[in-house]
Structure 1
Amino acid sequence: MDTSYLALAGLGRNHWLRYVLGMVLIVVFWQLLGGIPLLMMVLFLIEDGDPNTNVDLTTLQFSGVDNLWPYLGINFTLLAMLLGVFLAVRFVHKRTFTSVITTLAMISWKRILEGFAVFFMLIAGATLVEAAFKPGEYQVMFDPKQFLIFLPIALLVTPLQAAAEEILFRGYLMQGMGLWTRYAAIPVLGSSLLFMAAHLTNPEMGENMYLMPLLYLLMGLFLAFITVKSNSLELAIGAHAANNLFAVLIMNYANSALPAPSLFMANRIDPVASLISFVLVAAAFYWIVFMWRKAPQ
C-alpha cells in the first residue's frame, strides 16, 4: 500500500499546536458560523407558533416545513466547515489546498467521476434488489414542481457537502494522523472512528444503537482505504457524492439526516439490510476499480 498521500501533511508547517489551532478554526466555522442559518430557522419556527410546524432540537428534524429549507440549513454548516478547512490548510499549515486531495499538482476530475459513476451504479442495483424483497417499504413521492426546483440545487450542493466531509476526515485529519506513525492502519482507523462519532447524533441512530454506528464506521474505513490505496482523495469524494446524491434525489427514508424531496421514500432504514448491502457494494467497488479494470484484456 503506497502511503505517500498520508505523507503530504509534511509539506506544510505541522507542529501539533497548529493542528489544535486548525481544528478550533474548523469547528468555529462548522458549528458556530455555519449554524447561524439553522439557528435562525429554529427561532423563526418557535416564534411563529404554528401548530403545524415543529422542530426536534436533538435531531434537527423539521416537520411541516418544505424540505428545501432544512436541507440548505444543514448543508450550509458543512460548506462553512469546508471553508474552515481551506483556511486552516492555507494559512495555519501553509500548504496548498490540493495537497489535501492529491499527490499531483492538479485534481483529476476524471477520477472523481469514476468513483461517482461506479458507486452510484452499485447502490442503485443494491436498492433495486432490496426493494424487490420488500416492496411494501417504499412509496413514490415524486412531485414534479418540487423535484425540478430541488434538482439543480442538489446537484450543486450535495457533491460539495460530500467533498467537505472527505476533505476533513480522509484529508486533513487522516493526513495529520499519518504524521505521527508509519503504519497506515492507524490514521485509517482513527479518521474512521472520528467520522463515525460525527454522525452519532443522526436520527437514524435511533433504529439500532449498535449496527448504525458500525455502518458509519465501515463506510469510513472503506473511504479511507480506497483513498490510501489510490493515493488520492478523488475516488472517495466521488463515491461519497454518489451515495448522498442517490439518497436525496432517488431513494431517501423517513427521518433522514438529509431531508429532501426524493423520487422514492422508504418507511424506515433497515440496519441489517443496510450493513449487508454496503459490504457487498464496497467489495464490488473495490473489485471493479482496483482489480477488474486493471486486469489485462
Structure 2
Amino acid sequence: MTEPPSYPEPGSAPAYPPPAYPPQTYPAPANVPAYPPPSSPPVYPAVGHPGQPHPASYGYPAYVAPAPKPAFPHDRPRPYHQMLRTWTYAPWKSVVGIVVLLGGFLIAVPILALPVLFIAVAFQSGDYLDNITDAATLERVTPAAMLYLNATLGGAILLTWLIIRLLHGMRPRWLSSVVPKLRWNFLYACLGVSVAALAIAMIVGALLPSSSADAELGELNTLTASYAMVALVILLTTPFQAAGEEYVFRGYLLMAVGSFIEKPWGRWFTILLTAFIFACAHLQFDGPVFFDRFGFGVVAAWLTIRTGGLEAAIALHVLNNYLAFGIALAFGDIAESISDPSASWWNILVTLAQVVSYALLVSWVAKKMKLRNTTSPPVPAG
C-alpha cells in the first residue's frame, strides 16, 4: 500500500536542495581610489555680489521706518527775509499770503475790531451814533477813537500769525526772529538806543535854521478829562499798535517779498519795496513826511535782516509814535497830526540823523550780544 506524501509542518521554512554548482567569486577591481567619509557639509558662497548682505528670504517686505522729521523747517540757514523758503516752499503761497494780508489788514481786522469801538463809545457823553462816526473817521480824536485805531493795528499781529500758520505751516513765533522768539533783552537794549538816537536827532534839529521847525508848538493845551483818557490810551496801547505795523510790514510782507528772490540783490529790492509800501500805506504824501516814513522803513527793514528779528524795528517805532502823539496831544491837534501832517524839507536831515545813528548803534549792540541773523541748520528731530 502506497504511503501518502508528507508536507512540512505549518510555519517551517521549505527545504530546497543545495545548488548544483559552487558560488562564483569576482576579483576586486584594481587601482580604484578609496574615498574617505566627508568630515563636514560643503559650504556654498552667499548669493549676490561680493560685499553685499544676503538677500532676505521671501515673504512679507521688511518694515522701513519713515525719515525723521526735521526739527527746523529750513533746508539750510536762512536770513530773516527768506524764512518762508522752507522744505515745503511754493511761490504761490507767498502770493496768496500777500493778498490775504492786504484784505485782512484793510477790511477784516477793522471789522472785527468794531466791538471795541462800540463798547468804548458807550462810555462817552453825547450822541452815540455821532460819536461812532467821529471815531471811525478820526474827525475828532477821542479815547474811543484812539483805542479803536490802536486795536485795529495791533490786531494785525493775529492776522500775520494765522497766515504763517495756516498757509505756510510755520509756528507764529518765526515772525519774531530767526531764533525763533522775541528776544526781550535785545528789545530793551534797542529801546535805550532809540532814546540816544532821538537825542542826536534833536541836537541836529537845534543846529538847523529856524525854518526847519515843522510848526510853532504854541501854548500847552488845556488838560481835560478827555485828553487825560486819550493820553492813557496812547500810553497803554501804542506798543501794540507799533508792533502790529512791524509784524505786517517788516514781518510777513518782508518775508513774502524776500522769498521770491534768492540772489544777493534780492535783499535790497525787498528792503526798498517794502519801505515804499509802508510809506504809501500812511496816505501822507507831503514830501518831507513821505521821506520820513520811507527812511524809517528802509532802516527798519535793514535792521530786521541784519539782526535777524523785529526787535529793533519795534523799539524805534514805539518811541517815534510816543513822541509824535505826545507832542500833538500836548501842543497841537492830534487829529490833524494823524490825518494830515506836514514838515519842513530841513526835517529830512533830522530824519537821517536819527535813523542812521540808530542803525549804527543797533548794529554794534547786536554784534556785542552775538545775535544770530540766520536760522539754525537743519537737524533731525529726536
Structure number having the greater strand percentage? 1
- 1:61 pairs with 2:138: yes
Give the CA RMSD over aligned residues. Answer: 3.7
Relative to 1, partners in 2 of residues 1:180 and 1:21: Cα closer, same or farther, differing over 3 Å? closer
Compute the displacement of 1:126 (Å). Answer: 3.4
- 1:248 pairs with 2:328: no
- Aligned AA for 2:280? A
Structure number having the greater helix percentage? 1
Compute the displacement of 1:116 (Å). Answer: 2.1
The residue number in structure 2 matching 1:282 is 355
Compute the displacement of 1:238 (Å). Answer: 1.0
Compute the displacement of 1:240 (Å). Answer: 1.0
Match of 2:84 among 2, 5, 9: 9
- Aligned AA for 2:297? G
- 1:234 pairs with 2:234: no
The residue number in structure 2 matching 1:272 is 345
- 1:76 pairs with 2:151: yes
Provide the TM-score with structure 1 as the length reference. Answer: 0.76
Cα distance per residue 1:1-51 (max 9 Å; x no partner): x9722221123744233234333433343222332356977xx9998569x
Cα distance per residue 1:224-247 (max 9 Å; x no partner): 111122122211111111111222
Compute the displacement of 1:56 (Å). Answer: 10
Which piece of structure 1 moves more, 106-115 or 15-24? 15-24
Q: Could you tell me whether the CA contact under 8 Å between 1:90 and 1:97 is conserved in 2? A: yes
Relative to 1, partners in 2 of residues 1:26 and 1:80: Cα closer, same or farther, differing over 3 Å? farther
TM alignment of 1:72-151, pairs within 5 A: 72-123=147-198, 126-127=201-202, 130=205, 133=210, 136-141=216-221, 143=223, 145-146=225-226, 149-151=229-231
Q: Could you tell me whether the CA contact under 8 Å between 1:22 and 1:85 is conserved in 2? A: no
Instruction: Determine helix, strand or coil for the equivalent of 2:79.
Output: coil
**Cα distance between partner residues in 2 of 1:147 and 1:124:** 27
**Cα distance between partner residues in 2 of 1:77 and 1:163:** 12
**Cα distance between partner residues in 2 of 1:25 and 1:293:** 33
Instruction: Determine helix, strand or coil for the equivalent of 2:139.
Output: strand
**Cα distance between partner residues in 1 of 2:311 and 2:366:** 17
Which piece of structure 1 moves more, 7-16 or 31-40? 31-40
The residue number in structure 2 matching 1:264 is none
Q: Could you tell me whether the CA contact under 8 Å between 2:178 and 2:309 is conserved in 1? A: yes
Cα distance per residue 1:160-216 (max 9 Å; x no partner): 11111111111111112222212211111121121122112x4xx3xx3x3332222
Which piece of structure 1 moves more, 110-119 or 26-35? 26-35
**Cα distance between partner residues in 1 of 2:100 and 2:180:** 26
**Cα distance between partner residues in 2 of 1:159 and 1:274:** 25
Relative to 1, partners in 2 of residues 1:211 and 1:80: Cα closer, same or farther, differing over 3 Å? same
The residue number in structure 2 matching 1:263 is none
- Aligned AA for 2:252? Y
